[in-house]
Structure 1
């Protein structure tokens, strides 16, 4: 019988990658997606693909039992850094809770930077362990897809080349990077696949879901090598969001995961094959730039 997996953020980049992959294995997994609006076009598209769509809100605990009850496992990613999902999962008796999280910014910066985006998720890690919810933690890196989704790579203002534009992040900052759509779902599925037989090795472990470390300068060099088009890096002054500004300041101080080498042996031990920057540029970024007119077809 297929194990039912609840996925939050199913219409987003992270949750969407998990849903897309699990749907390819209906004999193993049935997918349930949590959404505040089941009648939205995106929710209806999920339902058309075979996803069970349920109404709920992670900020409203009363709506969560319906979402979690009957599930074997869950993949949870959220911008609301509270413990509601973990509480609901424990009460529903979930066997495997995969939580997309981040380390303590205070710890990795030795007290220099406090980023609530990091601290909020880190506190949930401690809460999960404290209530003995069987869980695995997935650390995610900077997303290759942001070059497309956030418009970071585009034609230069003089029209003679390309620019890689990011707020605050300096050209030599070390970024641990992830191709979400290609690799995150595979890592999550590998954890789910191995949970029953290797739970003692996986529970409360942190898995670094990212393939390599690149500086923005290296990203520009790779784009230029693949496209044959001059590419320069441009630092923008801010994101317009204070919390994200603090997060990018943290990157400049420490790199995204100071001291962590990639790929993560724990991820490789799950049998995962990771994909890298050059492949992303060839398969996703170049077609996007050609379609948008930023790169000559």
Structure 2
């Protein structure tokens, strides 16, 4: 019998990628997606693909018991870029707590929480980024306070998709070159990268696939959902090699948001995950085949730039 999985953030990049991938396996998984707006185009599209769309809000705990009811598994992500919480990153922490408590009450067997490490710990006290700290505190809440033993944690990296979805990579005005534009991040900063659409979704499914047999091994583990470490300089080199067009890195002065600027300053000081070597052996042991930068550039970036 197919297992029901609740996916939050399903109209965004992380949750959407997980929901779409699981929908390809209807014999194994039934997908339920949580959204504040079931009438959105993204929610309607997911419904057309076979997802059960339920209305709810991670900020409103009263809407969550019904959403998690009868679910074997859950993939939960909160989104700092959500317009409703953009100026209040602490809200993300409350959303994570609300979700974990509701999943525990519902008896969810496998709860995957998309999270980040402590910025204070990895920077040895130099940087405190609330985007990081809120998610990290939810880890401790799940593991140490409510002792929700169905949980496993997934660390996400810098998204390849940002080159497309956030317009970081563009052709120059004359069409003869390419610029990779990012705020604050320096060209030799080390970024642990992930192709969310292919690899976060694949890792999530692999955790669900293996949970019943390997939950004692996976419980409370942090799995790195990333394939490799690249600097912006290296990314430009790959783009230039694939496209044949000169590619320049441009550092923009600010993101326009103080917490995001702090986050990118953290990257410059420490890299995204100091000392972490990729790929993560725990991920490879699940049988996941990861996808890399050059493939992303060929399959997603080149068509996006109209160069295919």
Checking the alignment, whether the CA contact within 8 Å between 2:255 and 2:261 is kept in structure 1 is yes
> In the TM superposition, what whole-angstrom CA distance separates every residue of 1:97-118 from its partner, at most 9, and x where no partner exists?
0000000000000000000000
Q: Find the counterpart in structure 2 of residue 132 from structure 1.
A: 147
Q: CA–CA distance in 2 between the matches of 1:40 and 1:227?
A: 36
Q: CA–CA distance in 2 between the matches of 1:71 and 1:61?
A: 17
Q: 1:198 aligns with which of 214, 237, 242?
A: 214
Q: Report which stretch shifted further, 281-290 or 73-82.
A: 73-82
SS in 2 for 1:26: coil
Which segments of 5 or more consecutive residues in structure 2 lack a partner in the other structure? 80-91
Q: What TM-score comes out, normalization by structure 2 length?
A: 0.93
- 1:15, distance to aligned residue in structure 2 (A): 0.6
1:130-209 correspondence to structure 2 within 5 Å? 130=144, 131-133=146-148, 134-157=150-173, 159-209=175-225
1:176-255 correspondence to structure 2 within 5 Å? 176-255=192-271
Which segments of 5 or more consecutive residues in structure 1 lack a partner in the other structure? none
The count of aligned residue pairs is 292
Q: CA–CA distance in 1 between the matches of 2:286 and 2:141?
A: 26
Q: Find the counterpart in structure 2 of residue 14 from structure 1.
A: 14
Q: Find the counterpart in structure 2 of residue 105 from structure 1.
A: 119
Checking the alignment, whether the CA contact within 8 Å between 2:20 and 2:46 is kept in structure 1 is no
Q: Find the counterpart in structure 2 of residue 81 from structure 1.
A: 93
Q: Find the counterpart in structure 2 of residue 119 from structure 1.
A: 133
Q: CA–CA distance in 2 between the matches of 1:15 and 1:37?
A: 15
SS in 1 for 2:274: coil
Q: Find the counterpart in structure 2 of residue 278 from structure 1.
A: 294
Q: Root-mean-square deviation (CA), in Å?
A: 0.9
Q: Report which stretch shifted further, 232-241 or 42-51.
A: 42-51
SS in 2 for 1:81: helix
- 1:38, distance to aligned residue in structure 2 (A): 1.2
Does residue 266 in structure 1 map to residue 282 in structure 2? yes
Does residue 31 in structure 1 map to residue 31 in structure 2? yes
Q: CA–CA distance in 2 between the matches of 1:149 and 1:3?
A: 31
- 1:155, distance to aligned residue in structure 2 (A): 1.3
Q: CA–CA distance in 2 between the matches of 1:49 and 1:28?
A: 15
SS in 1 for 2:255: coil
- 1:81, distance to aligned residue in structure 2 (A): 2.0
- 1:158, distance to aligned residue in structure 2 (A): 5.2
- 1:18, distance to aligned residue in structure 2 (A): 0.7
Q: CA–CA distance in 1 between the matches of 2:256 and 2:54?
A: 33
SS in 1 for 2:46: helix
SS in 2 for 1:163: strand
> In the TM superposition, what whole-angstrom CA distance separates every residue of 1:137-192 from its partner, at most 9, and x where no partner exists?
00011000100001001012454310000000000000000011111111000000
Q: What TM-score comes out, normalization by structure 1 length?
A: 0.97
Q: CA–CA distance in 1 between the matches of 2:125 and 2:36?
A: 37
- 1:42, distance to aligned residue in structure 2 (A): 1.7
Checking the alignment, whether the CA contact within 8 Å between 2:203 and 2:283 is kept in structure 1 is yes
